[in-house]
Amino acid sequence: MLRWVRQQLGFDPPHQSDTRTIYIANRFPQHGHYVPQKFADNRIISSKYTVWNFVPKNLFEQFRRVANFYFLIIFLVQLMIDTPTSPITSGLPLFFVITVTAIKQGYEDWLRHKADNEVNGAPVYVVRSGGLVKTRSKNIRVGDIVRVAKDETFPADLVLLSSDRVDGSCHVTTASLDGETNLKTHVAVPETAVLQSVANLDKLVAVIECQQPEADLYRFVGRITVSQQTEEIVRPLGPESLLLRGARLKNTKEIFGVAVYTGMETKMALNYKSKSQKRSAVEKSMNSFLIIYLIILLFEAILSTILKYAWQAEEKWDEPWYNGKTEHERNSSKILRFISDFLAFLVLYNFIIPISLYVTVEMQKFLGSFFIGWDLDLYHKETNQRAQVNTSDLNEELGQVEYVFTDKTGTLTENEMQFRECSINGIKYQEVNGKLTPEGFSEDSPDGNRHSLMREEELFLKAVCLCHTVQINADQTDGADGPWHANGIASPLEYYASSPDEKALVEAASRVGVVFTGTSGDSMEVKSLGKPERYKLLHVLEFDPNRRRMSVIVESPSGEKLLFTKGAESSILPRSKSGEIDKTRIHVDEFALKGLRTLCIAYRRFTPEEYQEIGKRLHEARTALQQREERLADVFNFIERDLELLGATGVEDKLQEKVQETIEALRVAGIKVWVLTGDKHETAVSVSLSCGHFHRTMNILELVQHKSDSTCAEQLRQLAKRIKEDHVIQHGLVVDGTSLSLALREHEKLFMEVCKNCSAVLCCRMAPLQKAKVVRLLKTSPEKPITLAIGDGANDVSMIQEAHVGIGIMGKEGRQAVRNSDYAIARFKFLSKLLFVHGHFYYIRIATLVQYFFYKNVCFITPQFLYQFFCLFSQQTLYDSVYLTLYNICFTSLPVLIYSLFEQNVHPHVLQSKPVLYRDISKNAHLGFKPFLYWTILGFFHAFVFFYGSYLLMGEDTSLLGNGQMFGNWTFGTLVFTVMVITVTMKMALETHFWTWINHFVTWGSIVFYFIFSLFYGGIIWPFLHTQDMYFVFVQLLSSGSAWFAIILIVVACLFIDVLKKVLYRHLQPTSTEKAQLTEAGSGINCLDSMCCFSDGETACTSVRRMLERLMGRCSPTRVNSVCKVTEETCI
């Protein structure tokens, strides 16, 4: 029962051991007192709530928000003491906000529960009691042997036991995990690979020892002990033995595997971990404004309480003849009375805090995020991919970016590799019409038209064909004759590879005569100029980012043991002792200067004694459960030494379309671009120049190849000095990984000073964590700039998560970057539309929304404060409680919400063609202290005009009704409220530039709804209302011509100052955005609105009309439709 309760509450007991022991088919030892380990069941739980914890957990999360908690306190105060307003006035809006948010979150969680139930209820087959038993996925236990058929997904993390192939291999695709569509080969250990029937597997006695679950998809350490008669055979298990949940079986009829990780302990589920919560600058501004308004509220409440007691110092006001005190009131404590009055005033003024702001912002972000996915300009037709929004909390942050950190390969480039050149034995070669031709020779020259390969060339190409992880489409290798049609004509082999570089090299080798034709068991087959050769694959030394190389050990047809190694030149050349090392190094640098990606290739021959020693060391390291990676790294380093260099390759990665234009646009917008790449220095600089990141006229500064702190610091000081001396010239900085580590260790300030004075920064030879460290360094600098990181591979995840905004590119390096990003796009060029258009609109919309909310609440509650001066601070409310409740919920909520979804202050074409407009909104320009102060002062000004305008127009003894009746306090309050609703709605109309029929409907509809509601509310006696102070008040008010005159006069007086300010600023101090609005008007993107559009003919009001048109700067949807037909140049 306790365990069930813990599961329901979401607690997961920690594992006690570093490893887990799994008895296959759950055959536990019968002797001794064995206590089996407890493992998670196979249920996937992506939901946040359960039926039992939804209410308490959701309420706890919602009341962590300051505004919600504040209104809860106010509501409780209203319940406990005698306050001037009903508890309903605070309780109903709070209940509405809490309920709407809870329904939204509950619905989203119900969808997650529904998806979980589909996954957990999927049928699977498990080996039990000598046969196959059909059960549900959620019933799989650790140790169960599971059968998976072709094209099915794996229901848990399984260790492969056997397949329908003799060698126990199978092919899988992990597209749903990391996006890689290539086929990956997994193999079973020889002792279990032969067990291909259920009956044989049921007799298997074996134990698996492996590490506890971890999120890394590419890491698995374990070993299997198989009991055969009297002996126990131990075999190592690695990632090649593990079939991950979510991956799909391909080109294999069926496999059997034992479940080692289940449910929420599978690697797929562990990668669901929620990212750290990112908060936008707007949200932080909102909280700051909220605190300021809380201070204003406390000030008003304290001032009102003090003034009340100052008035009551005189006896005639303390106890007037018409309102005598009771004996209890006379004897009550003055301190308690003061606290009670203070709380009553707090309740009276509490609506200055906009409770509905949070729920409106949440709805705006959620609904607004759909526009990114719907934008056809962000749709990539070739790959059929739309832009993707993973979090809507950061929409407005797209309009605040100051630094962009981008990966190179797959982000700026296509990640489509094409073989260009190679260096073999110190001679450079190019591919010409399917032949390797030495540089300087043409195909027509005597040496250029050869039909055979030299020994060094053939060995080099064989190394390329053997040292890789490339797979061949199984349909092409199943036939007896291999990849040949019946008529004898060869069909091109279809290769699959996790690395585009490997695929390009193997395809190039096949074109020039050395063809990799596939694997058969533990053999690799190669055709050299039509002659088939079979190499036995003995060991694979897997690639890792620390070694930056991979190797294979093979046995040649002649029985020789050979090591073939390929990798970065920095990891191969220092380990080579023979070959044309110097010439190859020169060629590699030349390739890099051309922007080619380079790899060096070397080999080594083993004597039988050397190979025996290597085999022993490898087995010990691979069967170790503790520190396996470190031991393997030591053994790999021992093997990969004394190499003979064969040559190097140069592969071109094409730039993506419009990369240069996008980077230039970012620079014009005031955004600094940093390129962070793992490529070598020369390659990275060449690509930076070709993509426009570096200009040819730019002064390139270098901080590279430093080995000590002192030399690094000295170089930094020299660079800083050069920048100061040549401050007119633009500078670009190149820094490599090792120098960066030294610079960040003790010279952070100096390094940052140099970087900030450079127009562009290029960091090469970067490890993934170094990328994140650089982002963090900028992010936490004193200026605290908004950062954006964009990348396409798993090595970019750390920087994507670290930056304020993370963007994943849907490229060829998997989907890990996309899964961990906030937004995902198909191409780098889409970044300009995402920032300059969507970012601009989102920021303008939410900035206005936030400040408008505070403005309209100041307008709302300040007359209440002023009214206390006329009622002896008796806490008499100015408005009816129904109006208090519905003001934020109904009367003024929809116009600002629709504005925040559809507003376009400048046409999208203009925004994209004029990136400089992005500077107008940078550094939180519209939510700074000055705009906030303007909106607040405007709110107080309008509130004073509402109150004193109504007071002065009514007078003290003036009858405004035809029958001579006087206005009462409810009539006065209703007049103030009516003027307020019209004014704040018209203020929203003044701020709107882009009018749709929805804007018209909700703007004018809100005013009409208020009038209709007030007529019904005050015109009928409602039996369920305890008191009805407003009965016939509104009807009497509207029957007075003086009241109508007062309403129109006060509304015009309020908005006139605002209109005047806008006109003066637009003419005397226009911003770039306002100038662009005028450009729109001149280029044909005019408004077609009845409020601000006029004919082009000269009339008496032409100048006024032109002024209004410039003031509003509006565009209409019908006009925008026609604009889509004109060229982009017309819109500029």
Query: Measuring CA to CA, which residue among 798, 784, 734 is closest to residue 760?
Result: 734
* Euclidean distance between CA atoms 196 and 213, whole angstroms: 28
What are the backbone dihedrals phi and psi of residue 955, each rounded to the nearest 5 degrees, phi first?
A: 75, 180
Displacement of CA 343 from its chain's centroid (Å): 44
* Euclidean distance between CA atoms 1032 and 418, whole angstroms: 83
Tokens encoding 573: 């050349």
Q: Which DSSP string corresponds to 842-858?
A: HHHHHHHHHHHHHHHHH
Q: Which residues contact 516 (CB under 8 A, 6 or more apart)?
A: 465, 466, 468, 470, 472, 493, 495, 506, 509, 510, 524, 525, 526
* Euclidean distance between CA atoms 755 and 658, whole angstroms: 26
Tokens encoding 292: 């300021």
Give yes or no for a contact between 1058 and 1065, defined as CB atoms under 8 angstroms apart: no
For CA atoms 463, 466, 472, 475, the dihedral sign is: positive
Query: Measuring CA to CA, which residue among 145, 173, 141 is closest to residue 159?
Result: 145
Tokens encoding 815: 């989907």
Report the DSSP pairing between strands 206-211 and 514-520: unpaired
Full 3-state SS string of 787-843: EEEEECCHHHHHHHHHCCEEEEECCCCCCHHHHCCCEEECCCCHHHHHHHHHHHHHH
Which of 811-848 are b and which e, b meaning 16 or more Cβ less than 10 Å from the residue's Cβ? bbbbbbbbbbbbbbbbbbbbbbbbbbbbbbbbbbbbbb
Is 796 one of the catalytic residues? no
Displacement of CA 438 from its chain's centroid (Å): 48
What are the backbone dihedrals phi and psi of residue 473, each rounded to the nearest 5 degrees, phi first?
A: -50, 125
* Euclidean distance between CA atoms 364 and 842, whole angstroms: 9
* Euclidean distance between CA atoms 494 and 507, whole angstroms: 9
Given 157, 178, 341, 407, the catalytic residue: 407
State the virtual CA torsion across 986, 991, 993, 994 in degrees, nearest 10: -70
Instruction: Report CA-CA distances (Å) from 598 to 428, 552, 682, 763, 892.
Output: 13, 19, 10, 18, 63
Unique residue bearing structure tokens 């090299």? 505
* Euclidean distance between CA atoms 310 and 651, whole angstroms: 86
Query: Measuring CA to CA, which residue among 364, 350, 282 is closest to residue 93?
Result: 350
Run of H or E residues at 436: strand 435-438
Give yes or no for a contact between 192 and 200, defined as CB atoms under 8 angstroms apart: no
Q: Which DSSP string corresponds to 287-330?
A: HHHHHHHHHHHHHHHHHHHHHHHHHTTSHHHHS-TTSPPPHHHH
Q: Which stretches of 159-274 are DSSP H helices? A: 175-178, 190-193, 198-202, 267-270
Q: What is the amino acid identity at position 927?
A: L
Q: Tally the residues of the chain.
A: 1132
Q: Report helix, strand or coil for 923.
A: coil
* Euclidean distance between CA atoms 522 and 729, whole angstroms: 61
Give yes or no for a contact between 175 and 153, defined as CB atoms under 8 angstroms apart: no
Q: Which residues are catalytic?
A: 407
